[in-house]
A and B are shown apart, each in its own frame.
Chain A
Amino acid sequence: MDEGVVIRAEGLRKYFPAGASGLWGRRKAFLRAVDGVSFHVREGETLGLVGESGCGKSTVGMLLLGLHRPDAGRVLYRGEDILALEGEAKRRMRRNIQVVFQDPQSSLDPRMLVKKAVGFPLEVNGLARGAEVTRRVEAMLAEVGLRPEHMYRYPHEFSGGQRQRINIARALITGPRFVVFDEPTSALDVSVQAQILNLVKDLQKRRGYSYLFISHDLSVIRHVSHRVAVMYLGRIVETAPRGDLFQTPRHPYTRALMAAVPKPDPARRQPLALLPGDVPSPVHIPPGCRFHPRCPEVMDVCRETEPAPVEVGPDHVVACHLWHGTGFDARRRSA
């Protein structure tokens, strides 16, 4: 059934201890960063993961990378449970899954030459040695739009955009099939952001990588993704193919998020959607639907019962009571 799926996450959960511990050092409160998240990414596809700060989107990335261990759930790479792997098998698996982080500055060692930084994954994994490393670093740099002489420079000699190219080169040099991008352009200016986004898309087209692209910026997500998952307070509230999501968003949160983005066109100036209040703390998650205290369409049922995901169109899933028993799901069931 998992034909063509590179990564599948099932029921991921990650709680962090928060606040003071109680008597006997027992923790009283937990920050529920990721609270039951499932999704998959297909071959050659980009899944965009969008949400506001603190919604848990970066933690999801960390769980896929094995940088955090989930409290529950599984991560499957081409059907293989990567959390069960140990030692050499685990190391070999990691070559397949790589990451590019937000801050191009702090993710590079300031005392490491670019050649060393980009070639290091090859050496660590025993994939190449000596002149072979140099050859492959050079080829990789060319691929991301840098020149051979850049190998013998230090990170501080580059602009933010170039540093992000170096990070991308380092992530791709072991030949991964799946790459997590965690807000890779948030620290960059728009003109440079455009260069990096184009590069990321171009590499995918040429090499067939699969991406999980994490961002808070809906317009960036729209530009790079094939499918989009919207997260709110540790849960995915809506998943849909890009076109569907942006043309017919179903979840009230998705709609509010879109309506809150100021459009760069004064001719279509309209009041921005105003959601009441702030995002609640992931330590004190509201009961029922997590979005209900801010939801413009809240019903009684939302305050008590957490909505189950409903399929409202092909590949379009919404976790909201408004859509229960409607649309695609109901039609298919009655057919």
Chain B
Amino acid sequence: MNGDLLHIQDLSVRFFTYQGVVRALEGVHLAVRRGEILGLVGETGCGKSVLARSILRLIADPPGRIMGGRILFKGRDMLTLPMKEMRRIRGNDISMIFQEPMTSLNPVFTVGNQMEEVVRLHQKVSRKAARRICVEMLEQVRMPDPESVLRKYPHELSGGMRQRVMIAMELSCRPDLLIADEPTTALDVTVQAQVLHILNELTRARGTSVLFITHDLGVVAHLCDRVAVMYAGKIVETAPVDALFRSPGHPYTRGLLAAVPSVDEDREVLASIPGVVPGLIDPPAGCRFHPRCPAARKECEHLEPAGVEVGKDHWVFCHAGRGKVKGER
């Protein structure tokens, strides 16, 4: 589709470990459209971070390997690009923010030092001009007193400030796509609110597409336009955010929504999903959710469910899903 900035097709990633082959991603399809914030939700170990890293080809090989599929960015397959090209895309066209900003910043250099380096690596400007760009960027992320922040070392900043420095740095190169991997998970709620606000404002104003990875459904509802739900290395549902919360199609999505305690209503008992997330060395056959699924039927045990369009732009990968099967249109 023309509106797609990034199109992931049939992506499979495996990790070869002593314990066995981990099937981290199997046949994943996902598109990120221009200007949208797409939420990618799922629980620990479902493969959402692997997916994010695969896009930038940051999977360490060995042990990991991209087994197949295509990652089309502006129509070009990133998996076949030479490394030199890839390096140009990283930072310039696609940037990434990680969960723990302290590990992304070098502790022995000042913030200014690191930000300038990034700016000058991607834009041909003088040191002085780079400094000015840094100050402007920090102002845009509402950093009080940017001049003094530039002189500080990462450990002198709070978690929220460090994450704002990262956002400023990543957006300074005006990427088309920002991948944010749980950027607010390590932050307190009041600080998270600040960071989400800044991220939303800046990316909307510039039309930057965002792939926002999180396990927090509240953050998804607040920030995203569309959502993809992952379970055990597969996408199980994609939908516009309103549709997902109003009429979740996949039993896993329904379970996830029911399991979240609410700040504004009292529930006596939380619905919980029985059992645990399966290991990906030997994932269940058929639908990977079937051992925990309250609606599992015979075919779920051996047949992988195809995508079914249950509403406008709303796809569910479940045998019980009602609607048009993918490709029927």
- The answer to whether B43 touches A222 (Cβ under 8 A) is no
Return the chain A residue nearest B144 by Cβ.
A277
**Residue from B218, B259, B277 within 8 A of A193 (CB atoms):** B259
Return the chain B residue nearest A279 by Cβ.
B188
Return the chain B residue nearest A275 by Cβ.
B190
> Number of residues in B with C-beta < 8 Å to the partner?
46
**Which of A8-16, A25-33, A257-265 has 4 or more CB atoms under 8 Å from chain B?**
A257-265
- B residues 214-269 touching A (CB-CB < 8 Å): 215-223, 241-242, 245-246, 255-257, 259-264, 266-267, 269
Q: Does B193 contact A (CB under 8 A)?
A: yes
How far is B215's CA from A101's CA once the two chains are assembled, in angstroms?
22
**Residue from A201, A258, A279 within 8 A of B263 (CB atoms):** A258
**Residue from B190, B223, B241, B257 within 8 A of A52 (CB atoms):** B190
Most buried by A among B158, B193, B194, B277: B193
Q: Which residues of A contact B245 (CB under 8 A)?
A: 264-267
How far is B144's CA from A243's CA once the two chains are assembled, in angstroms?
38
Q: Which residues of B contact A57 (CB under 8 A)?
A: none
- The answer to whether A198 touches B270 (Cβ under 8 A) is yes
- The answer to whether B221 touches A264 (Cβ under 8 A) is yes
Given contacts A191-B255, A262-B223, A267-B245, contact A159 B276 (CB under 8 A): yes
- A residues 257-288 touching B (CB-CB < 8 Å): 257-258, 260-267, 269, 271-275, 277-279
Give the A-B pair count, Cβ closer than 8 A.
131
- The answer to whether A222 touches B262 (Cβ under 8 A) is yes
Q: Does B101 contact A (CB under 8 A)?
A: no
Return the chain B residue nearest A51 by Cβ.
B188
Q: Which residues of A contact B264 (CB under 8 A)?
A: 246, 263
Given contacts A194-B259, A278-B160, contact A261 B189 (CB under 8 A): yes
**Residue from B193, B260, B261 within 8 A of A272 (CB atoms):** B193
Q: Which residues of A contact B220 (CB under 8 A)?
A: 264
How far is B270's CA from A193's CA once the two chains are assembled, in angstroms?
9
- The answer to whether A222 touches B221 (Cβ under 8 A) is no
Return the chain A residue nearest B223 by Cβ.
A262
How far is B262's CA from A263's CA once the two chains are assembled, in angstroms?
8
Q: Does B197 contact A (CB under 8 A)?
A: yes
How far is B188's CA from A278's CA once the two chains are assembled, in angstroms?
10
- The answer to whether A266 touches B221 (Cβ under 8 A) is yes
> Number of residues in A with C-beta < 8 Å to the partner?
45
- The answer to whether B256 touches A190 (Cβ under 8 A) is yes
Return the chain A residue nearest B184 by Cβ.
A262
How far is B263's CA from A220's CA once the two chains are assembled, in angstroms?
8
- The answer to whether A278 touches B197 (Cβ under 8 A) is no
How far is B273's CA from A325's CA once the two chains are assembled, in angstroms?
49
- The answer to whether A216 touches B189 (Cβ under 8 A) is yes
- The answer to whether B219 touches A262 (Cβ under 8 A) is yes
- A residues 201-259 touching B (CB-CB < 8 Å): 201, 216-220, 222-223, 242-243, 246, 256-258
- The answer to whether B216 touches A262 (Cβ under 8 A) is yes
Q: What's the least CB distance linking A198 to chain B, in Å?
A: 6
Q: What's the least CB distance linking B36 to chain A, in Å?
A: 14
How far is B212's CA from A235's CA once the two chains are assembled, in angstroms?
36
Q: What's the least CB distance linking B138 to chain A, in Å?
A: 15
Q: Does A86 contact B (CB under 8 A)?
A: no
Most buried by A among B161, B194, B222, B266: B222
- The answer to whether A189 touches B43 (Cβ under 8 A) is yes
Q: Does B196 contact A (CB under 8 A)?
A: yes
Q: Which residues of B contact A53 (CB under 8 A)?
A: 188
- The answer to whether B276 touches A197 (Cβ under 8 A) is no
How far is B249's CA from A279's CA once the two chains are assembled, in angstroms?
41
> Residues of B at under 8 Å CB distance from A?
43-44, 144, 158, 160-161, 188-194, 196-197, 215-223, 241-242, 245-246, 255-257, 259-264, 266-267, 269-273, 276-277
> Residues of A at under 8 Å CB distance from B?
52-53, 159, 161-162, 189-195, 197-198, 201, 216-220, 222-223, 242-243, 246, 256-258, 260-267, 269, 271-275, 277-279
Name 14 A/B residue pairs within 8 A (Cβ), A-sorted.
A52-B191, A159-B276, A191-B43, A191-B259, A191-B272, A191-B273, A194-B270, A223-B267, A242-B266, A263-B263, A264-B221, A269-B221, A274-B194, A275-B190
Top-10 shortest CB links A-B: A262-B218, A262-B222, A194-B272, A272-B193, A223-B261, A189-B43, A194-B270, A194-B259, A52-B188, A260-B193
In the complex, given contacts A262-B219, A263-B221, A278-B191, what are 13 additional A-B residue pairs having Cβ atoms less than 8 angstroms apart?
A52-B188, A159-B277, A190-B259, A201-B269, A217-B261, A246-B264, A260-B193, A263-B262, A263-B264, A264-B220, A272-B222, A277-B144, A279-B188
